[in-house]
A and B are shown apart, each in its own frame.
Chain A
Amino acid sequence: MSTTRTEPCNDKQGATLGNEDLSISQILKERGVSRRDFLKFCSTVTAALALPPSFAPSVARALDEVKRPPLVWLEFQGCTGDSEALLRSANPTVAEIILDILSVDYHETIMAAAGHQAEAALDKTITDYKGKYFAVIEGSIPMKDGGVYGCVGGKTNLERARQVCGGAAATIAIGTCASYGGIPAAAPNPTGAVGVKEAVPGATVINLPGCPCNADNLTATIVHYLVFNKIPALDGHGRPLFAYGKRIHDNCERRPHFDAGQYVEKWGDEGHRKGYCLYKMGCKGPATFHNCPTQRYNEKTAWPIGSGHPCVGCAEPQFWDVMSPMYKRLPNVPGFGIEHTADAIGLGLAAGAAGAFVVHGALSAMRKDKEPGEDAKED
Chain B
Amino acid sequence: MSDVCKVKQYVWELPLRWFHWINVLAIVILSGTGFLIGHPVTLGSTPSDYAMGWIRLIHFVAAYAFTVSVASRVVWAFIGNEHASWRAFFPMYSAKGREKLRHMIRYYTLQTHEVPEIVGHNPLATTAYFVLFLIYLGMILTGFAMYATHAPGGIMFKSLGFMYSHFTLQGMRLAHHLGMWLIFGFVINHIYSAWLMDIKEHGGEISSMFSGYKFTVKKGE
Contact = CB atoms under 8 A, between A and B. Distances in A.
Interface of A: 235-236, 241, 245-247, 250, 256-263, 265, 271, 276, 279-280, 284, 286-287, 289, 313, 316-318, 322-323, 329-331, 333, 342-343, 345-347, 349-350, 353-354, 357, 360-361, 363-364, 367-374, 377-379
B42 A263 contact: yes
Contacts of A235: 152
Interface string B199-212: 01111000000000
A265 B153 CA distance: 34
B149 A247 contact: yes
12 contacts: A247-B149, A259-B51, A260-B48, A287-B168, A329-B38, A331-B170, A345-B178, A350-B185, A357-B192, A367-B113, A369-B113, A373-B217
Nearest to A375: B114
Contacts, number: 168
A233 B177 CA distance: 34
Given A250-B150, A342-B177, A371-B1, A350 B44 contact: no
Interface of B: 1-2, 4, 6, 38-44, 46-53, 55, 108, 110, 113-117, 146, 149-150, 152-153, 161, 164-165, 168-171, 173-174, 177-178, 180-182, 184-185, 188-189, 192, 195-196, 200-203, 216-218
B150 A247 contact: yes
The 10 closest A-B pairs by CB, nearest first: A346-B181, A261-B51, A372-B117, A260-B44, A373-B217, A261-B44, A373-B4, A261-B43, A287-B169, A260-B49
Contact of A258 (B52, B110, B169): B52
Nearest to A245: B152
B179 to A, nearest CB: 9
A280 B38 CA distance: 9
B114 A369 contact: yes
A364 B52 CA distance: 45
Given A353-B185, A364-B200, A372-B217, A236 B165 contact: yes
A377 to B, nearest CB: 7
Given A263-B42, A287-B149, A363-B110, 17 more contacts: A236-B164, A241-B153, A245-B152, A245-B153, A260-B49, A261-B40, A316-B169, A330-B173, A330-B174, A343-B181, A349-B181, A350-B185, A367-B110, A367-B113, A370-B115, A371-B1, A374-B4
A373 B177 contact: no
